Structure 1
Amino acid sequence: MQDYIKLLRNIGHKRFYNKSEILFFEGEKPKMVLILLSGSIRLYKTSDTNKETTIHKIEHTSFIAEMPSFLNMPYPASAVCERDSEILEINIETLKNQCIKDSDFCFSLIASLCQKIKILENLINNNQKTLKEKIIEFLENNKENLQTLTQREIAKRLNISPESLSRTLKQLKDSNKLKIAKGKISL
C-alpha cells in the first residue's frame, strides 16, 4: 500500500484537518476519494434523538468511505477527526483512470474494500452478542490499553451508556472475572 500512496500523492492533494473537525456528514455526496495519511477518523451515525453510534475507527494509512465515492451514492455515516489528521483527496475520475492503467493497484483497492466488508461482518456479529460478551471481548482485545482507558471511553467505543457499562462491570467484578482499582480495570 505504501508504494501506491507515493503514486497517489502525485495525482491528489493533501489537506489537513484539526481534531474534532467534521470530514463529511451522513447523506452528503462524495466529491473526492479520501485516504487517511495520518491521524484518526471516527465514522458514526446519529439517531433521531441525536445519539451518536460509532460505526468504526480508521487509523492511517487507509481509504475512507471508498464505496460511496465509487458508487456515487451519499455517505451512509458521518466522519469526524479524532486527532489532527492529514487526508489525501483524489478526484474520482483520476483514480478510476489509475485503476484502468494499473491492475495491481486495482487489486490493492479491492483488498481495502474487502477489509471494510470484514468490519461490517464484525459489526453484525457483535450486535448478536450479550452486553457481558461484548464487554469481556473488548477488555480482552484491549488488555494493553486498559490502564489508560477511562470507563467513559470504553462505553463510547462500545456504543453503550456509561451506566450500563458500570452495572455490567460490577457484575463481572462480583463474579471474579475482573478487578477494578481506582477506576482502572484489569482482567
Structure 2
Amino acid sequence: MIKEDILLKFGACKMTYKKGDFLFNEGDFPKFFYQILSGSVKMNNFNDEGKEFIQGIFSTGQTFGEPPLFINKPYPSNAMAISHTTVYTIHKEAFFRLLLTNPEVNLAVSEVLSQRLYYKSIMASELSSQDAEHRIIKLIDYFKEEIGVPSDVKYKVPLTRQQIADLTGLRVETVIRAIKTLEQKGGLKIKDRKIFL
C-alpha cells in the first residue's frame, strides 16, 4: 500500500517470520506500523476453551494492526505468520511523521481503515444470522472485492475450510457441509478441493 521508497525514507526495517511466529500478542502495546512485503499474517483470538477466532487475514502489500497504534491501546488480538513472511516495520513516531508529511498516504490509510470497519460491520451482522451458506458467500465476496476481482470472473478462494470456519464463527464440519450444498445449488464450484466463486 505505501510505496517502498517512502517506507525506507522513514526508517522502515525488514523483519522475517517463520510460519507460526507471533508478530505481536493480544495485550501488547503497539510500537510499530506493519506492512507485508511477502507472505501472510492472521490476526486472531482464542476463547477460554482454546477455540481460535480469526479477526482477519492479510497478505502481500497489505497493512495490519493500525487502530491500536492511533489510539495507544493494547492490541485486542494476536498477529501470527501463516506462511514464511517478511514485513516492513516503522516505529510509531516515524509512521506518524510519514502521515503528516504525505497527505496522499494519510488518505490511503484512512480509506483502508474505513474498508475494514465496513467489513467488520457487515460481518457482525452476518454472524448473527444462522444461515451458514449466506455467511460463507458474504465472506468470499468480501475477499474477492478486497483484491479487485470483477464479479463475473471466477475467483480461487485462498482460504482453507478451517480458516473460513474461524472467520465466520462456524464449525469446520458446518462449513464443509455448507460448501457442498452451495456447490449442488450452483452457488460455487469446487475443483481439486479448491473453492471457486
TM-score band w.r.t. shorter chain: 0.7 to 0.9
Aligned partner of 1:17 in structure 2 is 17
CA shift, 1:118, in A, is 2.2
CA RMSD of aligned residues (A): 3.0
**More displaced, 95-104 or 39-48?**
95-104
**More displaced, 106-115 or 10-19?**
106-115
In structure 1, distance between residues paired with 2:168 and 2:123: 11
The 5 A counterparts of 1:155-170 are 155-169=165-179
* CA shift digits 1:18-51 (9 cap, x unpaired): 1111111111111211111211111111111111
Aligned partner of 1:62 in structure 2 is 62
Q: Determine what percentage of the aligned residue pairs are the same residue.
A: 26
Amino acid at match of 1:164: T
In structure 1, distance between residues paired with 2:108 and 2:6: 13
Aligned length: 183
Q: Does the aligned pair in 2 maintain the 1:151–1:183 contact within 8 Å? A: no
Amino acid at match of 1:177: K
CA shift, 1:136, in A, is 4.5
Q: Does the aligned pair in 1 maintain the 2:54–2:163 contact within 8 Å? A: no
Aligned partner of 1:89 in structure 2 is 89
The 5 A counterparts of 1:65-144 are 65-129=65-129, 130-137=131-138, 144=155
In structure 2, do the counterparts of structure 1 residues 74 and 131 end up closer, same or farther at CA, with 3 Å as the change threshold?
same
Amino acid at match of 1:7: I
Structure 2's unaligned 5+ residue stretches are 145-153
In structure 1, distance between residues paired with 2:193 and 2:99: 50
**More displaced, 56-65 or 95-104?**
95-104
Q: TM-score when scaled to structure 1?
A: 0.79
Aligned partner of 1:145 in structure 2 is 156
CA shift, 1:126, in A, is 2.2
Amino acid at match of 1:162: V
CA shift, 1:164, in A, is 2.1
In structure 2, distance between residues paired with 1:103 and 1:181: 45
1:6 matched to 2:5? The reply is: yes
> Does the residue aligned with 1:145 lie in a helix, a strand or coil?
coil
In structure 1, distance between residues paired with 2:193 and 2:97: 53
Q: Does the aligned pair in 2 maintain the 1:150–1:183 contact within 8 Å? A: no
Q: TM-score when scaled to structure 2?
A: 0.76
In structure 1, distance between residues paired with 2:61 and 2:73: 23
Structure 1's unaligned 5+ residue stretches are none
Amino acid at match of 1:132: E
> Does the residue aligned with 2:97 lie in a helix, a strand or coil?
helix
In structure 1, distance between residues paired with 2:91 and 2:38: 20
In structure 1, distance between residues paired with 2:66 and 2:164: 28
